[in-house]
Structure formats: structure tokens, C-alpha cells
């Protein structure tokens, strides 16, 4: 038995997230079918994370157990030959059998892309969130600093979450602006359902004067979803990197 660690990238616009669902097309469903064809057996893959409908991934990791002796390079070429144009396998390597794409993960980094302009960019449609208001990056950075550290993020996750433990650690939260493109990077030990999108939405609420930058610690303490900002749209979000 071999354990393969695979890195892929995908545009999530056409999919209802990563994880297999009934009556919906997902990334996992499409990839598993292609992997099964290459390995000549019904195969399941284990993803590093769930992603919501419309969310993208720059470097997503999954692991797959197989008896096949296929070379790693042939696996990459073979699976890519069957995949649609919005999913691509980047690399494959054999790893120890105890490696698990999800449970071996030490940290994840997401990036949220904002096209900050009065006018839409047709080439960024479904890939960046279009935001017309002028952005006070320094004010947003001041608010962002309050998220760093270990906190109960119940105020910043969907009420639909199935997690009883909502404590997470944010290692880094940075905001970069280059011309009309704003990038919000968030790295942490794990993320709750919609957590990154709600943090981004709250930072935008700070920018709009609806929430004070200094209110963030109080919102964290309240553990009340209604006290935080809106949930930013899915299409600006990317799983950027996974750390093992």
C-alpha cells in the first residue's frame, strides 16, 4: 500500500465546495472519478479542508491510498488529462502511511482578494470581490491586529457550525494593497465554518465606520454572531497554502 500526497489548484466557481454532497457537483466528486480512472480502481481521496461553494484554492492538498505502482509524474499527467480546465494537479509525492491530509496539517493560510475600484474588472469576475468604497488600509490593519492570537471565534462563524469547540489560533493576519488589488492573508491552526469570510466582512464594516477597530476584542468576548460584520462573498476567497 502506498500513500500519495497530492497538491492541486482549482477555480471553485462551478462547484458546491470540495466535499462530496448529494445532488451537487463538488471538487472531490470530480477529482475522485478522474483519480479512479488513472488508478484503475474505485478510489476515495482525503482532503485537507472543506471549502464553501464558489471558494477557490491555490494549493490544496489531498492524500490517497493505493496499491498502484504508478510513478508520481505519471499520476499527475494522467489525472490532469481527465480533469476539466478549472482543476489542475500540481504535484504528487509518496509519503509515509501515517500521513493524513487533514489531521497532519499544522496550519492553513487563506487569502481574500478584493478589486477596489469604482469600475468592475470583467477579467476578475468570480475571482475577486468588487468593492467600490475607498479603503483605509491602516485602519483595517489596526482592527486586524486584534484577531491575532488564541481566541474563541464563535462570533466569527456561521450559526450552522457543527463545532462545539470554537477556540482557534490566528498566527498572522496581514493586508496588502497594490493599485486596485487588495489581499487579506489569514494564517491559523484551523478555521470554523465561514470564519475567514466573516472576519473579512467585519474588516470591511470597520472600513465603512459601522464597527470601530477597537470593538473587535469586545465582539470576540460576546461570542455572538450578530455582533460581528457581514459574511464576505465566497468568490474572493482562496485556500492559499497548507502547512505540514
Predicted confidence pLDDT, tens digits, the chain (244 residues): 999 999 999 999 999 999 999 889 999 999 999 999 999 999 999 999 989 999 999 999 999 999 999 999 999 999 999 999 999 999 999 999 999 999 999 999 999 999 999 999 999 999 999 999 999 999 999 999 999 999 999 999 987 766 789 999 999 999 999 999 999 999 999 999 999 999 999 999 999 999 999 999 999 999 999 999 999 999 999 999 999 9
Gap between the Cα atoms of 28 and 44, Å rounded:
9
Would you say 151 and 219 are in contact if contact means Cβ atoms under 8 Å apart?
A: no
Please choose, from the candidates 98, 87, 100, the residue with its C-alpha nearest in 3D space to the C-alpha of residue 45: 100
Would you say 238 and 111 are in contact if contact means Cβ atoms under 8 Å apart?
A: yes
Gap between the Cα atoms of 63 and 55, Å rounded:
20
Helix (H, G, I), strand (E, B) or coil at 164: coil
Would you say 186 and 199 are in contact if contact means Cβ atoms under 8 Å apart?
A: yes
pLDDT value for 22? 87
User: CA of 199: how far to CAs of 40, 57, 144, 145, 163, in Å?
Assistant: 43, 18, 9, 12, 18
User: How many angstroms from the chain centroid is the CA of residue 56?
Assistant: 7
User: CA of 155: how far to CAs of 20, 143, 171, 219, in Å?
Assistant: 27, 15, 18, 7
**Residue found by looking up cell 504528487 in the block:** 92
The pTM (predicted TM-score) of the whole model is 0.94
Gap between the Cα atoms of 200 and 26, Å rounded:
25
Gap between the Cα atoms of 200 and 131, Å rounded:
12
- Active site amino acids: 52
pLDDT value for 159? 76
Amino acid at each position: 500500500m502506498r500513500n500519495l500526497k497530492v497538491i492541486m489548484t482549482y477555480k471553485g466557481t462551478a462547484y458546491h465546495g470540495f466535499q462530496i454532497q448529494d445532488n451537487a457537483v463538488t471538487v472531490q466528486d470530480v477529482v475522485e472519478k478522474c483519480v479512479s480512472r488513472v488508478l484503475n480502481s474505485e478510489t476515495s481521496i482525503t482532503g485537507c479542508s472543506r471549502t464553501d461553494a464558489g471558494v477557490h484554492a491555490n494549493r490544496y492538498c489531498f492524500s490517497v491510498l493505493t496499491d498502484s505502482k504508478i510513478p508520481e509524474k505519471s499520476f499527475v499527467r494522467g489525472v490532469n488529462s481527465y480533469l476539466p480546465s478549472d482543476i489542475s494537479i500540481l504535484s504528487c509525492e509518496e509519503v509515509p502511511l501515517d500521513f493524513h491530509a487533514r489531521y497532519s496539517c499544522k496550519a492553513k493560510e487563506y487569502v481574500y482578494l478584493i478589486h477596489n475600484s469604482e469600475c468592475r474588472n470583467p477579467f476578475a469576475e468570480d475571482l475577486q470581490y468588487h468593492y467600490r468604497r475607498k479603503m483605509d488600509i491602516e485602519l483595517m490593519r489596526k482592527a486586524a491586529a486584534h484577531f491575532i492570537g488564541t481566541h474563541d471565534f464563535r462570533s466569527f462563524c456561521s450559526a450552522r457550525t457543527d463545532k462545539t469547540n470554537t477556540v482557534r489560533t490566528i498566527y498572522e493576519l496581514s493586508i496588502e494593497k497594490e493599485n486596485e488589488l487588495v489581499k487579506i492573508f489569514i494564517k491559523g491552526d484551523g478555521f470554523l465554518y465561514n470564519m475567514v469570510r466573516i472576519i473579512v466582512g467585519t474588516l470591511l464594516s470597520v472600513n465603512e465606520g459601522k464597527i470601530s477597530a477597537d470593538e473587535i476584542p469586545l465582539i470576540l468576548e460576546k461570542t455572538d454572531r450578530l455582533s460581528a460584520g457581514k459574511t464576505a462573498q465566497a468568490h474572493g476567497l482562496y485556500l492559499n497554502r497548507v502547512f505540514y
